[in-house]
Amino acid sequence: MNPERIVDEFPAPSFRGNQQDALEDIRAAFESGNDVVLVRAPTGSGKSLLARSIAGCARRVEDADPTDATGSYYTTPQVSQLDDVASDDLLDDLKIIRGKRNYSCILPGEHDTPVDRAPCAREKGYDCSVRHRCPYFSDRAIASNREIAAMTLAYFMRTAGSEVFRKRDMVVIDEAHGLAEWAEMYATIDLNPRTVPIWDDLKIPEMTGLDRAVEYADSLSATCSRRKDDLIAQQELTPAEAARRDRFQELISELDWFVDDYRNPDSATEWVVDQPEGKGGPITIKPMNPERYLSHTVWERGNKFALLSATILNKEAFCRQVGLEPSRVALVDVGHTFPVENRPLYDVTQGKMTYEHREETLPKIARTIVKIMQKHPDEKGIVHAHSYHIQEKLTRKLHEFGVGDRVRAHERDSRDADLEAWKAGDDPDVFISVKMEEALDLKGDLARWQVLCKAPFLNTSDSRVAHRLENGQWAWYYRAALRTVIQACGRVIRAPDDYGATYLADSSLLQLFDRARTDMPDWFAEQVDRMSDPDLPEFDPGSGGSIGKRGGGVSDSGGSHGSNRNNGGDSDTNSRSKSQYSGERKSPMADVWDTE
């Protein structure tokens, strides 16, 4: 790559905020010999534009020898992030390729058929007369020859070893903070009636340990191979049979990888196996710190790497998780350009939302949300419920309080449609969400306030989490939760002149801030230090709940748009927050995969 080009490759007509300084720092990091540069850039930094500048520094074909890797990959785990790139005119030279299921066949009578179920996928030796115009194969051909090919992380990983998408000079990964978790999830093997087409024909033994799991995986892979070969031998398949064939192939690949990795003495991957229902029940085989998997699917795919995120909180810990040598990795910090007074945190904690305290705490949080709705009678808000159980109980309680006509929620199978319907509405409704702390842009009046109902700690009943905590990895546990909180806080403020308030309802969030203090970015620590108690009205659902009864008034969401109760630093609340959250740290994850 040629880092000297980085500023000239910037796609916008002018810089804003810290973009030019960030590019200079990134250039210096690569020129110092680092193979990987982590770019910690907060919301509003224009990460996609920075990513485009970095990708543009890759070796070009005209400057390369025939055996040299050229060009760049841009990849992100978030489908919505890739959609944003696709709609950005400044990034129109990134050629996007998606998985086959996202394209429709153009043959007569097949227009509603996704390409992965088209005649070419169902009939042996099928010679498609319009393959050159097929939307999938056309996009794939263009992307494979374009200097910058863009795709989801799932598609990028799935195409490892592909002759079409071979090694390139530069790989840029956006929203990279969860790279280890995405790899673990992608490499996890779920064996159950939904994922194994021949489940009812199998005798599922009890998984007494990993050796037993490896033995069974070997046997199941052989069985799936025979069934797949039987389907391949047929001249023509139905769409359902084609789906079974493809699922068999996926299972074979997953099982063989597990067996090979477990038996490889050089692999650092630890595996855990779960079978909650015992003999005959579903099985989940999970990797921990899948360094070898990431090496194959990511690190062998490029010469240089740039990983961008607002929440890569600890460089050394991140490198350990993803199998990088910290001495070959640089961290570039990009300063926050959003005024801290425009992104206030408010302490409205009502108790703990752990399972044993939830029945007592949740009604208090519901009452508090009603008061916040009264405080913001003419502004939209979002409530992060953390789980569908909490969402259901909270929605029911708000209806009982008489504010149901201002409350919206989403179903499990219509998340995106329900979200878009709420965003498109003109009424100041409240959206009760689950797992929307990331990749959600609620700029301007789309939302002026939000509530975090529960500290987003990982589920300790998950075997990987339990295993790590048994080994004392509490710092990792708190970092994971802090990362989600910081991501959530960026949902309602998206630009320097935007403003949005975040209300913290679970007292465990305060504990989290204390224990993860040393891993906070400075700009977020500043928010925490300024946290205060808001001036909420008395509980009166009629004044802010019913659409027909809303009052007027200006909310104190922050900045010049409202009163800032922490402006002088001399209030009792301010003193409490600074002393409580700046001490020593104490010791004791809906996106859609898009694959080919």
What do you get for the CA distance between the two ends of the chain, in Å? 29
**Rounded CA gap, 26 and 163, in Å?**
31
Considering just the CA atoms, what is the radius of gyration of the chain in Å? Answer: 26
Name 7's Cβ contacts closer than 8 Å, sequence gap at least 6. 20, 23, 24, 27, 53
Q: Which pTM does this prediction carry?
A: 0.85
One DSSP character per residue, 33-69 reads T-SEEEEE--TTS-HHHHHHHHHTTSPPGGGS-TTS-
- Confirm if 466 and 460 have CB atoms less than 8 A apart: yes
Estimate the share of the chain in helix, then strand, then coil, as percent rounded to the nearest 5: 45, 15, 40
The residue behind tokens 């079978």 is: 275
**pLDDT at position 506:** 97
Which residue from 335, 333, 310, 307 is spatially nearest to 321, judged by alpha carbons?
307
Structure tokens, 569: 């630093």
- Confirm if 288 and 270 have CB atoms less than 8 A apart: yes
State how far the alpha carbon of 20 is from the alpha carbons of 10, 23, 26, 30, 268, in Å.
Answer: 9, 5, 10, 16, 40
**Rounded CA gap, 205 and 275, in Å?**
10
Q: Rounded to the nearest 5°, which phi and psi values hold at 273?
A: -125, 135
Residue 238 CB neighbours (<10 A) = 11
**Rounded CA gap, 381 and 505, in Å?**
14
State how far the alpha carbon of 394 is from the alpha carbons of 356, 362, 404, in Å.
Answer: 17, 7, 11
What is the chain's pLDDT, residue by residue, as a tens digit (596 residues)? 999 999 999 999 999 989 999 999 999 999 999 999 999 999 888 999 999 999 999 999 999 999 999 999 999 998 988 999 999 999 999 999 999 999 999 999 998 999 999 999 999 989 999 999 999 999 999 999 999 999 999 999 999 999 999 999 999 999 999 999 999 999 999 999 999 999 999 999 999 999 999 999 999 999 999 999 999 999 999 999 999 999 999 999 999 999 999 999 988 889 999 999 999 999 999 998 888 899 999 999 999 999 999 999 999 999 999 999 999 999 999 989 899 999 999 999 999 999 899 999 999 999 999 999 999 999 999 999 999 999 999 999 999 999 999 999 999 999 999 999 999 999 999 999 999 999 899 999 999 999 999 999 999 988 889 999 999 999 999 999 999 999 999 999 998 999 999 999 999 999 999 999 999 999 999 999 999 999 999 998 877 555 434 443 333 334 433 434 343 333 333 333 333 333 333 333 233 233 33
**φ/ψ bin of 175: left (φ > 0), alpha (ψ from -120 to 50), beta (otherwise):** left
According to DSSP, residue 586 is labeled P
**pLDDT at position 545:** 53
* Helical pair 572-581 and 522-529, crossing angle rounded to 10 deg: 140
What 3-state class would DSSP assign to 519? helix
State how far the alpha carbon of 587 is from the alpha carbons of 472, 474, 483, 512, 575, in Å.
Answer: 9, 7, 18, 11, 24
